[in-house]
Amino acid sequence: MSIAEQLPKQYDPQDAQARWYPFWVDRGYFQADPGRDAPPYTIVIPPPNVTGALHLGHALNNTLQDVLIRWRRMQGYDTLWMPGTDHAGIATQAVVEKRLFTEEHKTRHDIGREALVSRIWAWKHEYEARILGQLRLMGCSCDWSRTRFTLDDICARAVRTTFFRLFQEGKIFRGKRLVNWDTQLRTAVADDEIEYKETDGHLWTIRYPVTGSDSESLHVSTTRPETMLGDTAVAVHPDDERYKHLIGKTVTLPLLGREIPVIGDAILVDPKFGTGCVKVTPAHDPNDYQTGLRNHLPQINLLNPDGTYNENAGPYAGLDRREVRKRVVADLEAQGLLVKTEPYTNRVGYSDRSKTPIEPYLSDQWFVRMADDPDGSPGFAQQAMDAVTSGRLKIHPERYAKSYLDWLGEKRDWCISRQLWWGHRIPIWHCATCSEADLKHAFGDRPDVFWSPDESGSGWLVCSETDLAPDALGPSHTLEQDPDVLDTWFSSALWPHSTLGWPEQTPELAKYYPTSVLSTARDIITLWVARMVIFGQFNMGDVPFKDVYIHSVIQDGDGKRMSKSLGNGVDPVDIIETYGADALRFTLASSATETQDLRMPVERVTDDQGRIATRKAPGQPITFIPADEAKDLPKEQLVNTSKKFEEGRTFPNKFWNAARFALMNLEGYTPGPVRPEELAVEDRWILSLLRRAAADATTQLDAFRFADLAKGLRDFTWNEFCDWYVEFIKARLRDEGTRPAAQRVLATVLDGLCRLLHPVMPFVTESVWQALGGVAKARGLPEPAEASESVCIAAWPSYPDSWDDPEAEYDIAQWQEKVAALRNLRAERDVPKNAKIEPILVAQGRAAEALARGASYIQSLVGAGSVTVAPSADRPGESAVTVLADAEIILPLAGLIDPKAELAKLSKAKGDLEKQLGGIRSKLRNASFVERAPAEVVEQQRTRLAELEAQHAALVSRMAELGGGS
RNA sequence: GGGCGAUUAGCUCAGCCGGUUAGAGCGCCUGUUUUACACACAGGAUGUCGGGGGUUCGAAUCCCUCAUCGCCCACCA
C-alpha cells in the first residue's frame, strides 16, 4: 500500500499527539544551547500557580508563546522557552489549609509549621505534574530540562541575594502598616485578595460628650461601633460652622472615659455626610490611619492576631470582636449614649481565602521603598516608569502602558512580608540583647552579613545570605529569625533572571537576558510586570524583556469570568480530548485579537444519547452519566466545551486531506529543477500567493497579530490552495508530460504550508511533513533540497520576490470570476447536474487573452462541453446572460429559459445597478465633491461610473431582446 | 468615584490613521456520496454598523452626548 493510502480519511489528532511530542522531546529540539552560535530568543513562561490546574486563559497565553517560540526556532534562533511554576504563597497555603480543615478538622496551628509545609509540598508535586502535563498535551515546546519552581534552590538563592542587596542599600525597611488582617488564617492579605460584598448591617450613632460641658456633645456614626474603643480623636470639617469652635477642645470617650481631642480635618470629613463628625481610629481604619499620621494622633491597637480584643480594650479584653460589638452597643445603650441605630448596607471586605471579614490591623511589616531618593534621584517606581516612557520596554496593545504608568506613578511602597508559612522566609535575624561589637566580632569579615539597628525596637536586625544559627553570636545572645515569609511576587519578580541562574554569572544569563517577549494577562501588569522591571533593572541593570504582550481575557458566553466553581470553566484537556490540540491552538490563536475580553460560549459535553460528560476529578477519564444524575454533581466535575473549537477541528482536517490528495498524486515523484517556462499560469499564481502568505505571516508574527496570522493562513490554504489550485492541476497530474512539473510545484507548496502552519498547528503539520518526506524527501523550487527530519526545525519560509506575479494573478482572477458567474447561472437556472453547457464569454483585450488561456480550466470547473471566448456574440433568445464589469457571459440554455423569469432576474440586476449608478452620479454632480475630494478618488468614481453605465446598457439591450421594457 | 474597553448578520468576531456594493467562521436555506476531504463541495439569504447630535464633499471609521455591558483601580465614617 502506498503511503497515501495508509492515511485515514479523517485526521486523528490523538494519534499525532502521541507520536510527535515524544519525537520532538527525544531529539532535543526544545533545548536551548547557549554554546550554539545563533542569536537568542527567549520567553519565560508566566509561572502558573500550583494552586490548581490550567484553564483556557492559560491555554491561550501558552499557545501564543509557543507560536512565537516555534516560529523563531524555525527562523534559526537559539530559542529558550523557560518553563516553571509559582509557589503562589497564600493561595496555595489556603487551599491546603482548607483541605486540612475539611478532611481532618485541624488548623495549621494544630499540626505546626513543618508538617503544614510538607503537606503543601505534596500538593505542589501533584499540581505541578498536572500543569506541566497540560502544557505538554498542548504541544508547548518548553525546554523542560530547565524547569524551575519559584521556591526551589536556584530561585531561593536569587531571593536571598536580592533581599540582601536591597537591605544593604537601604531599599528595604521595616515599618508599621495597616494591613488587611485575616483573623482565621492569622495573616495579612493583599488588597487584591479581598472580596467586597454588600452586607446588611447597621449604622450606629454614638454621643461623645464634650469635656467640661453639660450640654454639648458630638454625634458620630459608625458601622463598626467596637472600634470606638481605639478612638484617639473626633474629626470635624475645619470650616463647619456647627463645630469649628470645638476644634482644640476634647470630648470624653464613652465607656473608657479617655479624653480625646476634636480636630479639624478637611480630607477625612465630608460635612454633608451624616452628622459631619467622624470618629478617628488610626489603628483600625485606613482613612483614619492617614488622618492619624496627618494630625500626629496616637494609634491604639485593640486587636490580637486571632480576632479577640487585647488589654487596650479595657473591660472588653479577651472577647472576640463580634462579642465586643454586641457588648459595646448594649453598654452604650444602657448609658444613654446610643443616639440611634439604623439599618445600613455597606460593603464589607472578606478574605478571598477564608471567606471571613477582614480587620484592618496595625502591624510590623517589611517594605521595599518605591519612592524617589531624598536627593531626588529616581527610585524604583520612577525607574520602572522610565523603562516604558523611554521605549526600552514596549507594551502591546499600547493602551495598557497607561495602567502600568498610573499605578507606578503613585510610588507606593511595596509591602513584602506575609504572615504565612509557605514561602521564602525573610532572611532577617533579630538580636535584642547584643551590641554592635558582638556583631562585628561574630560576622565582621563576612561580606554576606549586614546589620542595622532595629528602629522599631531594641537591638539589631541582621540580614544574611545564608542561614544563621540561633547561637551564632555565642551562648549569651539569641538570634531569632523573622517568622514571616516574602510576598509571592517577590520571587516572581526575579523570574526572568533567577531562572537563568543569577546571581551566578552563567552562560545562560549572559546569552538569554534580557528575554525577548513576555506574554501575560492584564490583571497582573502591576503586581508582576512592573516588579520584574524593577528587580531586573536593580539586579541586572537592564529591563527583563523588550516587549510585553497582553492577551485578552476569556469570558463565558454571558460575559462572565470563567471559573470552575461557577461551572463555566473549560479545561484545555477537555478540548484536546474532544477536538485535538491543534484545534485548541488554532481557535485560540484565531481569537487573539486586540480586544480586552473574549467571549467563549460554553456548553456541556454530551454523548449521542444525551448523557452528560463528567470527570470524578480533574485529570480522571471522562464518564457519561444520565442527565438527571448529573444535576446533583459539583459543577467542577462537569465537562465543558465550546462550539468555537469546531472551526479549529475542521481546518487541520482540511489540511490533512489536501495533503492526502497531494501524496496520492506524488506517486512516481522525482526531484528535479523546474524551468520557469515549465510553470503553468496556475503554478505561477499559487507561488505568487504562497510568497505573499509567507511574507504576511512574518509581518503578523512580528506585530503579535495572531488572529490575522491564523486567518491569513487558513484563507490561503483553504480558499486558494484547496479550492482552486488543487482543482486546476488535477488534469495536469493525469498527463504524463505535465505531471513531473506539477508534482514538483505541488510538493513545494505543501512543504511551504507545513512550515507556515507549524507554529499554530504543530501536530498535523508534523504528520504531513513526515508523510511528504516519505515520497518527496527532496523538494523545492527552483532547485530541490533535502528536507529536514522534522518541520519543527525546518527553516521558516521566505520566498524570492521574483515569485511575485501580477500577470498570473490577473489571469486567475479572471478565471475565478467567470467560473463563479457560470456556477451561479447553473444553480439559478436549475441546469441539470450532468448537462454539458456551452457558454460564450464575450470580452476584449487583456481580459479576452486571459480567458483564452484559461478556457480549458473553466470548461472543466463548470462542467462545460466547450467554452467560447469571443469579442462579440449574438445572444440566443433562450439563453441566460450575466453582465460583468469587463465581460459578458452568455449561456445558451435551450428549453430551460422562461423569458418572464429571465426578465425578472435581469430587472432586479438592473435595479441594483441603477441604485449604485444613482449614488455615483449624485456624488459626481456634487461640486464640492469634485473640487475637494482627492483627484484619484474622483477619477475612481468616474471609471466606476463608465463601467456601470456599460453594464447597464448591456442589460437594457438584453431585456429589449427578450421583449421587456427598459 | 477615576480609568480602560465593548456595543457591526441569529452567535463569536474582523474592519475603524474617513473614500467603490461593510467582511469572516459558525448557524440558516437549496442542491450534491464530482475518484483529497460530508470535519466536504457548489449556490443562496441575512446588517437603518447601540440611540441622538456634530465635524466633513463624504462617517461603521473622527468629536460630543446618552444608554447598556465588561474589566481594572480607588473608596464608601
pLDDT beyond 80 at A190: no
Report the amino acid identity of residue A129. Answer: A
Q: Is the ipTM of this complex over 0.90?
A: yes
Mean pLDDT for chain A overall? 88
Taking the stretch 559-618 of protein chain A, residues with Cβ within 7 Å of any atom in nucleic acid chain B are: 559-561, 591, 593-601
Q: Is A555 (CB) below 7 Å from strand B? A: yes
Q: Where are the extended beta strands (E) located within A24-137?
A: 40-44, 78-82, 84-85
Q: Is the CB of A828 under 7 A from strand B?
A: yes
Q: What mean pLDDT do residues A824-837 have? A: 86
Percent of chain A with pLDDT over 90: 43
pLDDT at A425 over 60: yes
pLDDT at A591 over 70: yes
CA distance A137 to A133: 6
Query: pLDDT category, A32, cuts 50, 70, 90?
Result: very high
CA A911, C1' B45: Å apart? 18
C1' of B10 to CA of A184 (Å): 50
- Here the cell at position A469 is 544559627
Strand B-contacting residues in A 389-428, CB cut-off 7 angstroms: 399, 402-403, 406-407
Q: Is the separation of the CB atoms in A613 and A640 below 8 Å?
A: no
pLDDT confidence of residue A75: 97
Higher pLDDT, A714 or A339: A714
Q: Residue A325 pLDDT more than 80?
A: yes
Confidence at residue A965, expressed as pLDDT on a 0 to 100 scale: 54
Measured CA A405 to C1' B77 distance, in angstroms: 31
CA atoms within 13 A on the CB side of A471: 3
Spatial contact of A895 and A867, defined as CB atoms under 8 Å apart: no
d(CA A841, CA A858): 11
Contact A517, A549 (CB under 8 A): yes
Which three-class secondary structure state does DSSP give residue A365? Answer: strand
How far is A622 from A637, CA to CA, in rounded Å? 10
What is the arithmetic mean of pLDDT over A859-874? 91
pLDDT digits (tens, 9 = 90+) for A888-918: 999 998 877 888 888 888 888 888 888 888 8
Q: Distance in angstroms, CA of A600 to C1' of B27?
A: 16
CB atoms within 10 A of CB A186: 17
Segment (H or E) for A263: strand A259-264
Residue A723 Cβ under 7 A from any strand B atom: yes
Evaluate if the CB of A9 falls below 7 Å from strand B.
Answer: yes
| Phi then psi dihedrals of residue A62, to 5 deg | -75, -30
Q: What is the pTM of this model?
A: 0.89
Q: Is the pLDDT of residue A243 over 60?
A: yes
Window 352-391 of chain A: CB closer than 7 A to strand B: none
Q: How many CB atoms lie within 10 A of CB A473?
A: 23
- A543: left (phi > 0), else alpha (psi -120 to 50), else beta? beta
Q: Which nucleotide is closest to the Cα of A399 by its C1'?
A: B4
- Amino acid whose CA is nearest the C1' of B5: A596
Highest mean pLDDT among A224-238, A404-418, A794-808: A794-808
User: Does nucleic acid strand B have an atom less than 7 angstroms from the CB of A27?
Assistant: no
Lowest-confidence range among A71-85, A614-628, A821-835? A614-628
Among chain A residues 191-210, those with CB within 7 Å of any atom of strand B: 191-192, 196
The cell numbers describing A133, all together, are 502535563
A722 touches strand B (CB under 7 A): yes
Cell 505542589 identifies what position?
Answer: A124
A67-84 burial string, b = 16+ CB within 10 Å, else e?
Answer: bbbbbbbbbebbbbbbbb
Q: How confident is the model at residue A609 (pLDDT cuts 50, 70, 90)?
A: confident
Average pLDDT over residues A353-357: 74
Q: Closest nt to A557 (CA→C1')?
A: B12
Which residue has cell 533581599?
Answer: A163
How many CA atoms, within 13 angstroms, populate the side-chain half-sphere of residue A245?
5
Rounded Cα gap, residues A300 and A318, in angstroms: 16
| pLDDT 10s digits, A613-648 | 888 877 788 888 888 887 788 877 888 888 889 889
pLDDT at A64 over 80: yes
What is the mean predicted confidence (pLDDT) over A752-781? 95
Q: Which pLDDT value is given to residue A353?
A: 64
pLDDT category at A241 given cuts 50, 70, 90 is: confident
Q: Is the CB of A919 under 7 A from strand B?
A: yes
A83, amino acid identity: P
- Tell me, in Å, how far CA of A343 is from C1' of B19? 62
Q: Which pLDDT band holds residue A4 (cuts at 50, 70, 90)?
A: low
A658 closest-nt by C1' vs CA: B36
SS3 string, A647-693, reads: HHHHHHHHHHHHHHHHHHCCCCCCCCCCCHHHCCHHHHHHHHHHHHH
- Give the CA A553 to C1' B4 distance in Å: 14
pLDDT band at A352 (very low <50, low <70, confident <90, very high): low
Taking 50 as the threshold, does the pLDDT of residue A966 lie above it? no
A959 contacts A906 by C-beta, under 8 angstroms: yes
Mean pLDDT (whole number) for A931-959: 88
**Which bases of chain B are contacted by protein, using any atom under 7 A from a CB?**
3-6, 11-15, 19-21, 24-27, 30-32, 36-44, 56-58, 69-77
What does the pLDDT read at residue A340? 84
Q: pLDDT over 70 for what percent of chain A?
A: 98
Q: Would the CA dihedral through A752, A753, A756, A761 be positive or negative?
A: negative
**Who wins on pLDDT, A351 or A43?**
A43
- Asked whether the predicted pLDDT for residue A26 surpasses 90, the reply is yes
| pLDDT at res. A255 | 85
Q: Is the CB of A786 under 7 A from strand B?
A: no
Q: What is the pLDDT of residues A658-669, one digit of tens each?
A: 999 999 999 889
pLDDT at position A492 over 90: yes
pLDDT exceeds 80 at position A945: yes
Nucleotide minimizing C1' to CA distance for residue A824: B43
In SS3 terms, A176-195 reads as EEEEEEECCCCEEECHHHEE
Residue A964 has pLDDT above 80, yes or no: no
What does the pLDDT read at residue A192? 61
Mean pLDDT of A226-241: 87
Residue A660: nearest nucleotide (C-alpha to C1')? B36
Closest-CA residue to A766 (of A731, A793, A730, A732): A793
Statement: residue A922 has pLDDT above 80: yes
State the pLDDT at residue A198.
67
What was the pLDDT predicted at A494? 95
Report pLDDT digits (tens) over A506-553: 999 999 999 999 999 888 888 899 999 999 999 999 999 999 999 988
pLDDT at residue A3 in the model:
61
